[in-house]
Structure formats: structure tokens, C-alpha cells
Amino acid sequence: MNNKNKPQFKQLVSESLIRDLILFSFLYILVIAQDWDNILLLLFPLITFVYALFFKIINNIRQKSNTSDSLIIYNPLGSEKISAHRLNFSAYIQLILLFWFGAESLYHPQLIDNYYIYFISIFIFMYTFGFYILFIDLWKYSKIEINLEDSNAKYSQKEQNDLDTVISFLKMKSFKIISIINLLVFIILNALNIIFAFLTLNEIMLGFEYYLPGTGFENSEPIKLSFIIYAIITTPPLISIAFLAINYKDINNYSEEKLNKVLSALPKSTQSKIMQNLILLNKSFKNRLRLE
């Protein structure tokens, strides 16, 4: 691969990305400073933030790689910017909840047993909700579109209204599958968390002891977590990877008929420019465009 086509460091970072890193790091350090012996709960906001960074970096690369005269709107993963903002919000709320719970265990340890089930329910809700909202409006942003407003093509009003410039979008069947599974996973994980937390708290089901920063103060006991928490921490990110892969494959399988319809009405120079833009955005388009 030509070095010119490789993402440069300046394409990966931006002012907003650095700001997010600093803010998250500051909040994370505040939580760690409470001296948590077990990092399990601290992994939840970390996983969420790593996903936010992924979307932020992808968005930075696309924005800085696209030239001002690009005729292609290419969103195979939906709106990376919106996804990053949503995941950042979820990660920050999780850190705030952890800091609050750690502080309560230090200053009011007698309240932990009474409020533990509320804390873990809200905490898991925020974690799963961060991944859930990634896909609720995925169809609005996932597409490949020819931006004819910046082209030199001349159309009559009727031709402009009739011409569909979206050559690929998330198919309704795929969107329905993603939406249904996404909703079911969100509801099931939160329901299981509440049920198992209640059963574990009342010693009806086995769990494991989890030491908070203030455990031992005023003879306070460690809280008990259900083993279901390991499934909860891994399921949303893994399912998200599968959904993103489905979406990416669906979007990149663009309609040749629609593309040819758009290109046929454009000057040769504009046609060539559009095809070059497509190839720059995704190398796998190269052979398909040659065939067309």
C-alpha cells in the first residue's frame, strides 16, 4: 500500500478526541484513587470508552481524508460522530456512578446493603443502554450517496426530483433483525441483572464477594455480585461487533443499477471523479467499478 493512502497520526487525532481522553482519564483516575481492590466494575466504563474512541478515530480519518470536492457521502457504520458522543456520555455516567458508590462505601458504609441493588441496576442499565442506542436509528445515517449538488451536471426540475442519488442503504430486513435483537438483548440483560442481583443479595443463589473501597469500615461487609455479570460485560460489545459487520457488508453491497443511473446523466469527467472517490473510500470497489 502506498504510504500516502495510510492514515497519518494527524488524521487519527483531533481536538475533541484529546479533550475526551483528558476528561475520561481524569474521571478514571478519581475513581482508581479510591483504592478499588477488584477492577471488574471499572472495566465497564473502560470498554464503553474504547468503543467511543474507535468511532471517534474512524470519524476523524474520514473527515480528514475526504477532500472538499468529494462527491460521495460514505457512511458504512452510520454516524460515527453521533455514536462516539453517545458512548462517551454512557462512559462518563458510569464513572460518576462508580465514584459515588465508592465514596458511599467510605463515608456511609451502612447504606451500601440497602442501596446496592439500585446502584447495580442503574449502572448496568447505563452500560447496556450505551450500546443499545448505537443501533436504534442506524438506518438514518447508513448509506452511500452521490452528492450531485456539488457536481456540474444540469438537470431539469423533474429529473432532479426523480433521480435517486442513494446507491446503497441499510436494507429493511437487516434493520429489522438488528432492531429486534438489539432491543431483546437490552431488555433481557437488564432483567437478568435485577433478578440475579436480588437472588444473590438474599442468598438464594450463589455469587462472589466484591470488595469496595470502604469495605471493612464500621464492620461493613463486601457486596455480592452474581456470576451473570461476566455475561453482561461481554455480550453488548460482542453483539455490537456482529451488528456493525452486518451493516458494513450491507452498505458496501451498493446497487449497480442506481450507480449507473446516476453516472449516465453526468459528464465523463464527473463520472471518473465519482469512481475515483469510491475507490479511495473502499479499495474493494475497484474491481466492481472496472466491471461496470
Distance of alpha carbon 136 from alpha carbon 102, whole angstroms? 33
Phi first, then psi: give them for residue 172, nearest 5 degrees.
-60, -35
199 inside domain:
yes
Distance of alpha carbon 144 from alpha carbon 254, whole angstroms? 8
Domains in the chain, number? 1
Q: In this predicted model, what pLDDT tens digit does every residue of 210-268 receive, in sequence order?
A: 999 988 887 778 899 999 999 999 999 999 999 999 999 888 888 777 788 778 877 78
Question: Where does the pLDDT of residue 27 fall: very low under 50, low under 70, confident under 90, or very high at 90 and above?
Answer: very high
The edge-to-edge listing of strands for the beta sheet with 166-169 is 72-75, 143-146, 166-169
pLDDT (0 to 100) of residue 280: 75
Q: In this predicted model, what pLDDT tens digit does every residue of 146-192 receive, in sequence order?
A: 876 644 444 444 444 444 578 888 888 888 899 999 999 999 999 99
Given a cut of 80, whether residue 123 has pLDDT beyond it is yes
What's the domain range around 97? 11-291
- At residue 2, the 3 state secondary structure works out as coil
Cβ–Cβ under 8 Å, residues 205 and 199: yes
Given a cut of 60, whether residue 45 has pLDDT beyond it is yes
Counting residues of the chain whose pLDDT is more than 70, the rounded percentage is 85
Per-residue burial over 269-283, b if 16 or more Cβ lie within 10 Å, else e, is: ebbebbbebbbbbbe
- At residue 168, the 3 state secondary structure works out as strand
* Three-class HEC string of 49-107: HHHHHHHHHHHHHHHHHCCCCCCEEEEECECHHHHHHHHHHHHHHHHHHHHHHHHHHHH
Cα-only R_g, the chain: 24
Question: Where does the pLDDT of residue 48 fall: very low under 50, low under 70, confident under 90, or very high at 90 and above?
Answer: very high
- At residue 212, the 3 state secondary structure works out as coil
Cβ–Cβ under 8 Å, residues 167 and 259: yes
5 inside domain:
no
Distance of alpha carbon 28 from alpha carbon 63, whole angstroms? 29
Burial class (CB in 10 A: 0-12, 13-18, 19+), 158: exposed
Question: Where does the pLDDT of residue 2 fall: very low under 50, low under 70, confident under 90, or very high at 90 and above?
Answer: very low
286 inside domain:
yes
Mean of per-residue pLDDT scores for the chain? 84
Higher pLDDT, 37 or 160: 37
4 inside domain:
no
Kindly state the helix (H) or strand (E) to which residue 145 belongs, with its residue range: strand 143-146
Secondary structure percentages of the chain, helix, strand, coil, to 5: 70, 5, 25
6 inside domain:
no
pLDDT (0 to 100) of residue 9: 57
Distance of alpha carbon 29 from alpha carbon 13, whole angstroms? 22
- At residue 251, the 3 state secondary structure works out as helix
2 inside domain:
no
Given a cut of 70, whether residue 287 has pLDDT beyond it is no
253 inside domain:
yes
143 inside domain:
yes
Taking residues 192-221, what's their average pLDDT? 88
Given a cut of 90, whether residue 61 has pLDDT beyond it is no
